[in-house]
Amino acid sequence: MKNYQVNDEGYYGEFGGAYIPASLEACVKELRENYLKVMDTPEFKEEFGMLLHDYVGRPSPLYLAKRLSDKYGCKIYLKREDLNHTGAHKINNAIGQVLLAKRMGKKRIIAETGAGQHGVATATVCALMNMECIVYMGKTDIERQHVNVEKMRMLGAEVRAVTDGSMTLTDAVDAAINDWSKNQADTFYVIGSTVGPHPYPDLVARLQSVISEEIKKQLLAHEGRDYPDYLIACIGGGSNAAGTVYHYLDDERVKIVLAEAGGKGANTDMTAATINVGREGVLHGFKTLVIQDETGEIREPYSISAGLDYPGIGPMHANLAAQKRAKALAITDSEALEAAFELTRMEGIIPALESSHALATLSKIDFKPTDIVVLTVSGRGDKDIQTYLENR
Ligand SMILES: *Cc1c(COP(=O)(O)O)cnc(C)c1O
């Protein structure tokens, strides 16, 4: 049987691993040797479970979208991560990693953020747990994501502007890694998606796996069977998708569809469709598919959706695509916008632009009337209202 989980060396097939400078080896090793042990303790499980339930508001509903189902000729359930506290799935991961940091004796939390969503989730949890929080953010992104910057500050985090390079996410990652290597003894680096050196992709996937754990129970209650015919999720780095598919990876009855950001089109230079156009390379400490030019230089990705605007993809997903376990569809900006307006008008749910990419796959798949589909709505659209208004 094929294995889609990480192996002992930190690889998913040929992707993953830990490509890090010598200065980081000790802290990555410390994390690798502790994360499973800590997460397996009854104390961790109890506190994590309590916070997901009472603070985040889990389980998130699994909602049968009737009008959407009628339109696409199958049964479509929406997994409502948009209803979580702070408006997306990222809080599941932030809580888990800060709990882990505390148990590893760390006092200081650092994170990097592009659009600001992961920064806000991390700052939220640090306020809750009374931890020092420093968020690295490119200066360009600080100017673009003003509201999230103010939220982080209100929550008590220090937002540090990064003025190197293109002053965006990639440069913020470098700044966070630099901080981590200098402050290993007391600092924990909270990564926001299934990316980075091993064990981060596995750690984040496990923390988000509560999504598919709940889907199993909820589908059984709704349908009398605990698996769908299709699972659909959008992918930036891959964390909401990893959580959605985690407990179904070995169940080949379940087809997996990943929606990546096509931008202006996967055949143009303005795209973030990594699985469709990327080639193997090393990015941010792991081997994966990377959007690059002929010389191997990373190409600046583009998407209308800030959360999907990443030049790489988590190693789990690169492998799922390589093994043909998952199909990756590139969704353009305009297709995503159209899907957002459709969900809003048909179901009264304004989705995040990222999630709209997942919704746009519905019109590209040939469903049978008996098909049961679970689609994860990773976040709510409040943060994207300006973009929606400009593209009405
Ligand atoms: C950050 C974000 C994403 C993309 O991140 P993944 O790790 O791929 O899940 C998707 N949707 C929303 C709402 C986000 O905030």
Choice among 112, 214, 260, 335 that is catalytic: 112
324 catalytic per annotation: no
Output the pLDDT for position 386.
93
Choice among 69, 75, 79, 90 that is catalytic: 90
Residue 7 lies inside a defined structural domain of this protein:
no
Residue 1 lies inside a defined structural domain of this protein:
no
164 and 234 within one domain: no
Query: Sorting pLDDT into bands at 50, 70 and 90, what band is 300?
Result: confident
Residue 3 lies inside a defined structural domain of this protein:
no
131 and 62 within one domain: no
278 and 182 within one domain: no
Boundary (domain end) residue, out of 172, 204, 236: 204
pLDDT, mean over the chain: 96
pLDDT tens track for 32-77: 999 999 999 999 999 999 999 999 999 999 999 999 999 999 999 9
- Mean pLDDT on 336-348: 98
Ligand 1 lined by 237 (C-beta under 6 Å): yes
Residue ranges making up the domain that contains 97? 13-50+90-204
45 catalytic per annotation: no
- Mean pLDDT on 205-219: 98
Percent of the chain predicted with pLDDT > 70: 100
Ligand 1 lined by 316 (C-beta under 6 Å): no
378 catalytic per annotation: yes
362 and 222 within one domain: yes
276 and 185 within one domain: no
Residue 151 lies inside a defined structural domain of this protein:
yes
Output the pLDDT for position 332.
98
pLDDT tens track for 142-197: 998 899 999 999 999 999 999 998 888 888 999 999 999 999 999 999 999 999 99
State residue 34 phi and psi, 5-degree precision. Answer: -110, -25
338 and 197 within one domain: no
Boundary (domain end) residue, out of 158, 180, 204: 204
Ligand 1 lined by 379 (C-beta under 6 Å): yes
Task: Answer yes or no: are the C-beta atoms of 170 and 298 closer than 8 Å.
Answer: yes
Ligand 1 centroid to Cα of residue 74, in Å, is: 26
Ligand 1 centroid to Cα of residue 34, in Å, is: 26
**Angular region, 62: left φ>0, alpha ψ -120 to 50, beta rest:** beta
Ligand 1 atom, smallest distance to 380 CA: 13
258 and 118 within one domain: no
Query: Sorting pLDDT into bands at 50, 70 and 90, what band is 1?
Result: low
Choice among 193, 305, 355, 378 that is catalytic: 378
Ligand 1 atom, smallest distance to 352 CA: 13
Percent of the chain predicted with pLDDT > 90: 92
Q: How does DSSP classify residue 20?
A: -
- If one counts the domains in the chain, the total is 2
Ligand 1 lined by 239 (C-beta under 6 Å): yes
44 and 22 within one domain: yes
Q: Where are the alpha helices (DSSP H) in 116-209?
A: 117-129, 139-144, 146-154, 169-182, 200-208
Ligand 1 centroid to Cα of residue 359, in Å, is: 14
Residue type, 23: S
106 and 220 within one domain: no
Ligand 1 lined by 191 (C-beta under 6 Å): no
Q: Where are the alpha helices (DSSP H) in 10-65?
A: 25-39, 42-51
From 78, 141, 212, 239, the mutation candidate for ligand 1 (largest count of ligand atoms within 8 A of CB) is: 239
101 and 65 within one domain: no
Q: Where are the alpha helices (DSSP H) in the chain?
A: 25-39, 42-51, 66-72, 90-103, 117-129, 139-144, 146-154, 169-182, 200-208, 210-223, 239-245, 274-277, 315-322, 333-347, 353-360, 385-390
Tally helices (H) and strands (E) across the chain. Answer: 16, 14
pLDDT tens track for 230-287: 999 999 999 999 999 999 999 999 999 999 999 999 999 999 999 999 999 999 999 9
Ligand 1 lined by 332 (C-beta under 6 Å): no
Boundary (domain end) residue, out of 170, 204, 238: 204
Ligand 1 lined by 196 (C-beta under 6 Å): no
Query: What CATH number is attached to the domain comprising 102?
Result: 3.40.50.1100
